[in-house]
Amino acid sequence: MAAALTAGLGVGFAAENVFLTRGAGGAIALALSTVVDPGDEVVFLSPPWFFYEAMILASGATPVRVRLEPPAFDLDVDAIIAALGPRTRAIIVNTPHNPTGRIYPAATLRRLAEALAETAGRYGRPVWVMGYFRICLTATDEMVERSLPVFARAIEQAKSSLNA
């Protein structure tokens, strides 16, 4: 699996950094419990997958909601930047986003990656990115180090058929 991810994404995945979990929810819960300390903040996009807010609370962090405005539900990088602060530890991002179905443009995800790296530099602590996404993984060296990507078979299949 590490070799397949490395070949597919062009980012070196070591086998010891690949974890098989029970579902994407299990992967995100594991990622949260690994990086979050009590008092940290975790940003999530709203409308969200229904369980994120509860999962962030269960990890001991404070959920910070960033609203995506209808009807487009674009990824609002400026609103995300405004929500980032010295306690931000992570952000959950999915593309395609559930429940809107939006697939965010690569350029927007790169802008997000750069903004997160800049924020991490300003406050002197890393901001982890977790969820379903690919492109912002490789946007910056910092993002390669700070991404906890979730690969779910069904999502990858859906994306392949959309790209076909």
Ligand X SMILES: Cc1ncc(COP(=O)(O)O)c(C=O)c1O
Q: Is 138 in the site for ligand X (CB under 6 A)?
A: no
Q: Is 94 in the site for ligand X (CB under 6 A)?
A: yes
Rounded to whole angstroms, how far apart are CA atoms 113 and 37?
A: 22
Closer to ligand X at the Cβ: 93 or 113?
A: 93
Other C-beta atoms lying within 10 Å of the C-beta of residue 51 = 12
Rounded to whole angstroms, how far apart are CA atoms 56 and 74?
A: 23
Spell out where 4-133 has E strands: 41-46, 62-67, 88-92, 128-131
Smallest gap from residue 86 Cβ to ligand X (A): 27
Q: Is 93 in the site for ligand X (CB under 6 A)?
A: no
Q: Is 73 in the site for ligand X (CB under 6 A)?
A: no
Interface stretch with ligand X, choices 7-15, 22-30, 81-89, 117-125 (CB under 6 A): 22-30
Phi, psi dihedral angles at 124 (to 5 degrees): 70, 25
Q: Is 47 in the site for ligand X (CB under 6 A)?
A: no
Binding site for ligand X (CB under 6 A): 23-26, 49, 94, 98, 152
